[in-house]
Amino acid sequence: MKRINLPLDLDTIKSLRAGEKVYISGEVYTARDAAHKRFYEAVNSGAQLPIDIKGATIYYTGPAPTKPGDVCGVAGPTTSYRMDKYTPMLLAMGLKGIIGKGKRSKEVIDCLVKNNAVYFAAVGGAAALTLKCITASEVIAYDDLGTEAVRRMTFKDFPVFVAVDSYGNSVY
């Protein structure tokens, strides 16, 4: 199993292959449907995004409420295709990594190739186990969205596999 650190650089992205198991360490942003819709609206109105998307990795999750003693609630992956409408725009703006679950559209796959980016899949149903890999979590935007607020999380050896590599190869 390969270990990688975020932010992703071009050499790391190009070294990853569909189906490969990876441990990720570093900072990610969380964003689900409602946050992606706001990103889209912000860009289309000429406003700034609340995060620096260039070189970033987004994890499609909405953590459950935090239990005492934990850094956040369990945070399993959300079905990714629901963000397909918004993903090409973010990839064109410099997004380099995405973590979610499930198939992506041909348009998203083509944009991953065009923009030298990668899509990772996290295992659904294992959120209680992967919670141990989240070492920090803070809401940084859209607090009114509750569990769908944008967070900055820090991972230490978060397990994923490469679902779509930067060459367009897919495990699906």
Segments making up each domain of the chain, as ranges: 2-164
Structure tokens at 107: 């348009």
- Residue 30's DSSP bridge partners are 59, 151
Q: Mention the CATH class of domain 2-164.
A: alpha beta
Residue 46 scores a pLDDT above 90 = yes
pTM of the model: 0.96
Of the candidates 50, 43, 118, 57, the one whose C-alpha atom is nearest the C-alpha of residue 85 is 43
Q: For residue 131, what are its two tokens? A: 């919670």
Structure tokens at 26: 């570093």
- H/E stretch holding 138 reads strand 134-141
Is residue 152 within 8 Å of residue 172, measured between CB atoms?
no
Q: What is the predicted pLDDT for the residue at 126?
A: 82
**pLDDT band per the 50, 70, 90 thresholds, residue 127:** confident
Q: Is the pLDDT of residue 135 over 90?
A: yes
Q: If pLDDT is split at 50, 70 and 90, which confidence band does 124 have?
A: confident
pLDDT tens for each residue of 82-118? 999 999 999 999 999 999 999 999 999 999 999 999 9
